[in-house]
Every structure is written in C-alpha cells, then in structure tokens.
Structure 1
C-alpha cells in the first residue's frame, strides 16, 4: 500500500511547535481520514487541552506520556467518534507477539480504508501517524512528530526505545450530540484538574505549583534547558485549544464566555513564559521571577476557570 503524503502543516495550529503529540496526531488523522470538518475540536474534546503533568524534580519530558493510555481511545470516543484501540504495556510481555500481530492487521485494514492510525514510539518516543505500509518489505510508513518520515519494520512495532504498544484508530462519526460532547468534555476537565486520573507525577491544578517551583536559580543556573521550552510550549499550545473550543461553545452557551476568557489568559501567560525561555535575553534571577509569575498566574486563573465549569448550568442537564 503506497504511503500518503501527509504533513503536519495541514493539521492543527500549534502556536509553540510543542503541542502534545497525541492530540496533534489525532487531529491530523481526523482531517486526512475525512472524518471531521473541525478536527481541531478533538484536542479539547479528547480532554487533552485541559491536562497537565509535571515532573517537578527535573522536568523530564517523559512525564507527558506517563498517564493511563486508555485515555487515548476514551478521548476519541468522548469527541464523538468510534475507535479501535490496542495496547500492550510494560508488564504484558507474555502477549507481546499476539498484540503486535493484531495491531499490524488493524493498521493495514485502516490504511486500506484511508484511515490513519495514531501510534506510540515511531521515530522518537512520542505519538505519530502511520501513513502507509509495504507488505513486500513488511514495513509501516510513518510521520514522526518531528516531521521526519520513515519506515518501521513490522517486527519492531511496540518494541523500540520505550517498548510499549499503543495504536488508536478513529473510524467514524457517531450520533453523539455537540451538547453531550461539550458536557462530557467539561467533566473531563474537572476530573483531571482534581487529580482524579492516574498519574505518577504532579497533575491537574497541583501541577502548576510544581512547574512554578522549578524555575529557581538552584535548578536553572546558566541557561534555560530544552525541557523548559518543551513543558511551557506543550501546555501553552494545549490551553490555546481549550480557549478556542470554549470560545466557540460560548456562542451557543453564554455562561461559558468568562471561562473562555479565562483560558485565553492562561494561554497568554504560558505563551509569554515560553517566549521568555526561548528568547535571547540574558538569563538572570529577575527573568526567572518573570517566568515564575507567568506560570503562577496561569495556575491561579485555571482554578477560577474550573470553579466556573463546576457551577455551569450545563452540568445539570
């Protein structure tokens, strides 16, 4: 099966270049699979636009992928799509071959139907998109989150740098109403904010303190690391899509106007912090305080947004 020429440039808007790789891949899949006229909505309706995970000790990028992977297919379904999903985790080596072979069968059937799977750890340990396959060579073609295009052998799927298998394939639109999608998205946002999803690191509203506290002279001595850009860029881009989704919803549900404004402020604060750590301004304690204040302000504003979401009349329907 010839691979499709798919690029990130036709996918979701990414204001920092660090949008989380799962929802970014998911939005692109919906677009190129012709499943949605508004594929960027899924970044919010999957719940990811409202999530935050932070390794407060080192800002290890792997914190972005330490969550219950079943949130992947649950997010697709919440957004109003049917989905096939398969995974195999660290402690399931006894079913490694069985799950891998089944995943390859699923992937080939999907690509034959012009549906493009979201797969973990292709190119780098992030999510990316499968764009085709070559049965004669037994390889899958992929688009990595870095923009790299390449091939991975059937035998290597789920067995690369981080040997976990996760394949998510959106299939078709359901009859779930836009209002039901919105209500369930609000519930997802609240649940995550309160720390009710499994995570090994700081998450939800508590994660903002861990992120704020990292920006000290003890942790950052001479210059800002890639991880500081990665974290701030990821959460700025996610909150951008939370803002845009709620702004659109507020046209029908005016009670969400203030929440949308709040998420706009959160995005702007995180984006400003991101711009600071990416700038050529000489690193200083004063600059660290500026970044801290931006992140702290974002966290304080998100508390008020979650309070508003909890009190919205929509949840009483």
Structure 2
C-alpha cells in the first residue's frame, strides 16, 4: 500500500521515525509510514480507519501475530502532536527487533497503533489555518481572533476529541461549560459526531481489544480508573508501568468523563490507560523528544506485556 504524503522528506541513516525542529505534520507522518512499510513489509501492515474532517486518512498500524488484541493511540489533542512520532518510533522499535528475531512479546499480542488521531488539528496547531479551509473565519473567531494556534487542542471544527466519547458525556459537557466550538473542552453536539473519534470507537468495537492506552502530554502521570468500572488488574499494571518509566506516577483520577479510556473502561470493563508523557507546557518542544522517548518506551513496553 502506498500512503499519500510528502515524498520530498528524506531522512539520513538510522531511525526512520525522527522529529526535526520544524515539528511534525501529517505529510511527514505519511512519508514515514511509507518507509516503514517498505522496510518492514513482512512485519507490519497499515489499514485506513476512515478520514478526518479535511479528508486526511486515519491510519492504523498493525503488527504482531498474537490472539490478544491491544491498542495504543496518540495525538488526539492537536497541540500534543509530539506524541505521534513518539508512538510511531515505538512501533518502529518493535518492528526492528522483530525483524532481528526479537520482540517475543508480539508472539502473544497483536498491536493496533493509531499514532496520529487528529491530523487536521496537528497541522493547524503548527501552521495555522490551511489555505482554502471552509472554516477559516470561524476558526479565527473560535481562537479569540488570534492566528496563533499553538495551544489549540481540538479538531478543525473546534471539537475536543477527548470529550467525544459516550461515558458521562453530558456530565463532562456541564462541567466544562463550553457551549460551542473552541480551542479545547467542547465535546460537540453529541458523542462521536466527529469522524476522528468515531473511527477510534469503531476500531475498538470491531477489534475487541483486551486493553488500550491513549498517549497524551504532559505531567508523567498514568490514569487507570473510571468510576469504579475498571477491573482489578488495572491498577497493578499501572503501577508497573509507572515504575518502568522515568519519574512516572500511577494516579487515580476523579472528575473526568467522556475521554477515550473512560469510555473503553465503562463499555468493556477492561483495562484502559491515559499516559501523560513528558513535562512542561504544551506543545512540548522538539528538543525534549529524545529524552521523553527514553522515559516513555519502558512504560509502553510494560503495557504490551500486560497483567501478570
């Protein structure tokens, strides 16, 4: 499968998934996916889950041969775009070890990864309103008249995708108090109205994941609970994930609804996690990328291993 992207992107030797000072756009992401497919054609496959509001493909990367299906997603929030190359780099690391005869954890599981869940928003947060965008005037107004979208978390229609899921959606809308499109915290007119959130929900229901992880920034915290719906094994695994990382904490979160992991725990009664990678103020700077990855990769590895 050839993935549409910026074919001019050429990386030097070493890791395919890299982050430059200029940031990380959907075109770079697609180009890196192409190169991963070329190098690891026997290890991983890529499927289209749907399209974003602006028609960008929503890619799911699958690797592993195990009967147990697990899932990770990233870049649900636009200004947390750094999580996309973090997750894709981990996918590349697993594929490279598998090709070399390692990554034995993939004997037991099949990983479905969606590294760039909000491509329109990620590009908007870095480059501003795209030329010819149908929502150009509205976006400027929703952003308080500013053309600086670096703090923007929502998708291109001003809907916060991590307030889109049908688990306490009405409670979260009331708590947020945001009545219309905005840079963050607007959950939309109804749950799963946005194609990006609907695609994640559809994949989750069809694949029957035994556990899921949604990667965000920042704070080095791991959230594992939702209104006492989580299974007993959820907290011990969160503790192991935190212990594996550098400076991470397992946190029992209250006062939060309508997120992806909230919905997964509520609907399936299986372990679901939100991992807040890195520290600082979003968007985290590219200079921190390597350091964040070193501390995060062991957390993701522990998640793949699962409850013991």
> Would the TM-score normalized by the shorter structure come out above 0.5?
no
TM range (shorter): under 0.3
The TM-score with structure 1 as length reference comes to: 0.25
Which protein, 1 or 2, shows the higher relative CO under an 8 Å CA cutoff with sep ≥ 6? 1
* Larger gyration radius, structure 1 or structure 2: 1
The TM-score with structure 2 as length reference comes to: 0.26
